[in-house]
């Protein structure tokens, strides 16, 4: 089943065209990797997909329901805010810099949204959060504050926080880029584990062998366009376009 479908997306900041006619489909249980040089528009694409950013043109459907459609002038028109709010709740996000609330404990970082947005009771939310912390190997850290944790531990808390909302799709924007190499592995292991449980994920990453192994499908972006896309193993091991070859050479 197709969960998210983005068609012919265009987005500019002033006269900087950041996304040019981008299309992307995410099916249930699929892991989609997005790779490409810095500044190619990967974060903007994720932000548009999750509606943290608006598109200028194109359409976005969630489970076939229109979130964004083009009017007759080709301008993107968004669904009403209650519909968007509902759809947004189906998405979980994990950022490069963890984005935890510094003045909340680990537990409260995870339970805040389920209690306030998801309308869970504190008891329910605590129970789910503790279960997730256990899964992340952080059960003993529930009452600590983010600054007391390593970057890898903070990122695992932020993954637990995203999972606590029981998202349909989990989006990762360079989840290991702020981590030392020895901490990168523990986060990649968590994501691999989620993939083995068929979590639907969209992952922007610079970890090429990880992308090849964990993703089903990869988009290679450069300068706001999708240069090449396809089966993850084929794209990484046997790229067809010169720009893709040149980019992947850097990771040999
Ligand atoms: P990537 O994630 O691939 O490094 P980004 O999506 O962050 O690329 O950025 C793509 C382009 O969009 C860059 O030229 C960047 O400077 C520009 N850009 C991103 N966000 C903004 C913004 N909020 N305002 C203006 N320009 C932006
Ligand atoms: Mg980025």
pLDDT digits (tens, 9 = 90+) for 22-70: 999 999 999 999 999 999 999 999 999 999 999 999 999 999 999 999 9
Do residues 196 and 84 share a domain?
Answer: yes
Give the distance (Å) from ligand 1 centre to CA of residue 225. 13
Q: Probe ligand 1: pick from 9, 19, 44, max atoms within 8 Å of CB?
A: 44
Structural domain of 65: 2-90+169-250
Do residues 142 and 219 share a domain?
Answer: no
Atom 5, ligand 1: which residue's CA is nearest?
41
Give the distance (Å) from ligand 2 centre to CA of residue 58. 21
ipTM: 0.98
Residue where a domain stops, chosen among 130, 148, 166: 166
Residue identified by tokens 């190997």 is: 137
Residue 58 falls inside a structural domain = yes
User: How far is the C-alpha of 9 from the C-alpha of 15, rounded, in Å?
Assistant: 16
Which atom belonging to ligand 1 lies closest to the Cα atom of 224?
10
At residue 245, the pLDDT reads 97
Do residues 78 and 184 share a domain?
Answer: yes
> Exposure pattern of 123-134 as b/e (b: 16+ CB <10 Å)?
eebbebbbebbe
User: How far is the C-alpha of 132 from the C-alpha of 238, rounded, in Å?
Assistant: 38
Q: What integer is the mean pLDDT of 207-222?
A: 97
Atom 26, ligand 1: which residue's CA is nearest?
13
pLDDT band, residue 148 (cuts 50/70/90): very high
Residue 96 falls inside a structural domain = no
Atom 18, ligand 1: which residue's CA is nearest?
13
Q: What is the pLDDT of residues 78-110, one digit of tens each?
A: 999 999 988 998 999 999 999 999 999 999 999
Nearest to 187 by CA among 166, 223, 156: 156
Do residues 86 and 175 share a domain?
Answer: yes
Residue 121 φ/ψ, nearest 5 degrees:
-75, 160
Q: Does ligand 1 have an atom closer than 6 angstroms to the CB of 44?
A: yes
Residue where a domain stops, chosen among 150, 166, 182: 166
Q: What integer is the mean pLDDT of 206-225?
A: 97
User: How far is the C-alpha of 231 from the C-alpha of 217, rounded, in Å?
Assistant: 5
At residue 118, the pLDDT reads 74
Residue where a domain stops, chosen among 166, 185, 220: 166
pLDDT at 252 over 80: no
Do residues 51 and 78 share a domain?
Answer: yes
């Amino acid at each position: 089943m197709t969960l998210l479908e983005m068609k012919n997306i265009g987005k500019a900041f002033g006269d900087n065209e950041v996304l040019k006619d981008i299309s992307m489909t995410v099916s249930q249980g699929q892991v989609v990797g997005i790779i490409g040089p810095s500044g190619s528009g990967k974060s903007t694409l994720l932000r548009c997909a999750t509606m943290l950013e608006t598109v200028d043109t194109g359409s976005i459907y969630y489970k076939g329901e229109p979130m964004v459609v083009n009017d007759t002038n080709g301008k993107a028109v968004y669904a009403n805010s209650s519909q968007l709010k509902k759809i947004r709740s189906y998405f979980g996000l994990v950022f490069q810099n963890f984005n935890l609330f510094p003045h909340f404990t680990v537990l409260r970082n995870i339970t805040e949204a389920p209690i306030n947005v998801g309308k869970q009771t504190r008891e329910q939310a605590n129970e789910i959060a503790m279960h997730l912390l256990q899964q992340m190997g952080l059960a003993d850290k529930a009452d600590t504050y983010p600054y007391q944790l390593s970057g890898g531990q903070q990122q695992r808390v932020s993954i637990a926080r995203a999972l606590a909302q029981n998202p349909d799709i989990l989006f990762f924007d360079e989840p290991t880029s702020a981590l030392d190499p020895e901490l990168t592995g523990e986060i990649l292991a968590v994501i691999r584990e989620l993939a083995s449980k068929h979590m639907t994920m969209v992952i922007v990453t610079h970890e090429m062998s990880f992308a090849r192994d964990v993703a089903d499908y990869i988009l290679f972006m450069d300068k706001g366009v999708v240069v090449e896309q396809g089966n993850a193993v084929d794209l990484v091991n046997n790229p067809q376009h010169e720009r893709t070859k040149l980019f992947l050479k850097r990771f040999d």
